[in-house]
Amino acid sequence: VSRVARSRNTAFKAGDIVLSHSGWQSYAISDGAGLQKLDPETAPMTTALGILGMPGFTAYAGLRNIGKPKAGETLVVAAASGAVGSAVGQMAKICGARVVGIAGGSKKCDHLRQELGFDVAIDHHSSDFPAQLAAACPNGIDVYFENVGGHVWSAVFPLLNDFARIPVYGLIAHYNEESSVSSRGDQLPAVMRAILRKSLTIQREFADQRPDFSHQAEAWISQGRLKYKEDIVDGLENAPEAFLGLLEGKNFGKLIVRVAP
């Protein structure tokens, strides 16, 4: 999110607030293509990077097109205290689903239950995490929003019901692996057998539904049904450290680097 400093483009004037893909820098040059004007009076500018931006839309599109949670079904979401996961859980609750969130640490789990209304929140650092997850999902898992992989996926996988839907929006546990084959061994045959036997749907997809999303999300926020948390780091020089911390789960909410006031 940036402020236009100078413009020779008639569509933009100095002082306009815009959403751009300019990268990690203090100043950028644009011909105007891809810039989206923001209205700071409608919502805080930071929300264009979080709940009203790509993370919120990822949650909305994944639920609407792939997850399709029904009232009474069990939805499990990994990295549940993050920008996408927290939105997924709240939107699923609006749909009437029973929501189980997986996060790292008691503080994040307390936030999911007490502030966001999740039915259950489980710390994946717990030594008995798989047992806790199984106890929280006595009727299995109908929708699983995947963002982690690793030991979280290993605990979720046996609990998937027939016709479970799995939107995939990240695989944090595997980003730093040098090989495409996990150190835990090749799990692909077991996954493929389950897809065949249980008729699983595993998909990553984004449809052109942003106008619908914006209208709905803004309404939910104004009604207090959709809440968000932001973790702001000051200084462009701190961006690399902040990004590495994101991959290690050190952030709490949508991580944002504030280059300047």
Q: What is the pLDDT of residues 15-50, one digit of tens each?
A: 999 999 888 888 999 999 989 999 988 889 999 999
- Residue whose token pair is 């695989």: 171
- Alpha-carbon distance of 110 to 170, in angstroms, equals 23
- Alpha-carbon separation of residue 69 from 55, 63, 98, 243 (angstroms): 19, 7, 9, 32
The contacts found for 150-157 with CB under 8 angstroms, 24 or more apart, are 150/174, 151/124, 152/78, 152/102, 152/124, 153/78, 154/130, 154/184, 154/187, 155/124, 155/129, 155/130, 156/76, 156/78, 157/190, 157/191, 157/194
Question: Who's near 136: CB < 8 A, 6+ residues apart?
Answer: 100, 120, 122
What are the structure tokens assigned to 75, written together? 């939805």
pLDDT category, 75, cuts 50, 70, 90? Answer: very high
- Model confidence over 180-192: pLDDT tens digits? 455 556 666 677 6
* 68-95 mean pLDDT: 95
Per-residue model confidence (pLDDT) at position 131: 98
Q: What is the arithmetic mean of pLDDT over 212-231?
A: 92
- Tell me the one-letter amino acid at 250: K
Closest CA to 79 of 258, 250, 233: 250
pLDDT of res. 168: 82
Dist. CA 157–CA 190, nearest whole Å = 10
> Could you tell me the domains of the chain?
1-38 (no CATH), 54-203 (3.40.50.720)
Neighbouring residues of 68: CB distance < 8 A, sequence distance ≥ 6: 143, 165
Looking at the predicted structure, is the pLDDT value of residue 110 above 90? Answer: yes
**144 has pLDDT over 80:** yes
How far apart CA 260 and CA 46 sit, in angstroms, is: 13
> What's the pLDDT at 148?
78
Contact 193, 168 (CB under 8 A): no
Question: In this predicted structure, what is the pLDDT of residue 237?
Answer: 94
Please state at what angle helix 83-94 crosses helix 210-222, rounded to 10 degrees.
Answer: 80
CA atoms of 63 and 8, how far apart (whole Å): 41
Identify the pLDDT of residue 206: 67
| For residues 137-159, average pLDDT | 92
Rounded to an integer, the average pLDDT of 243-258 is: 88
Q: What is the pTM of this model?
A: 0.83
Report pLDDT for 248: 82
- What is the token pair recorded at 23? 């990268």
210: helix, strand or coil? helix
Of 54, 132, 127, the residue nearest 87 (C-alpha): 54
CA distances from 116 to 89, 107, 173, 256, 260 (A): 8, 13, 25, 20, 30
Place of tokens 């016709």: 163
Mean pLDDT of all residues in 117-129: 97
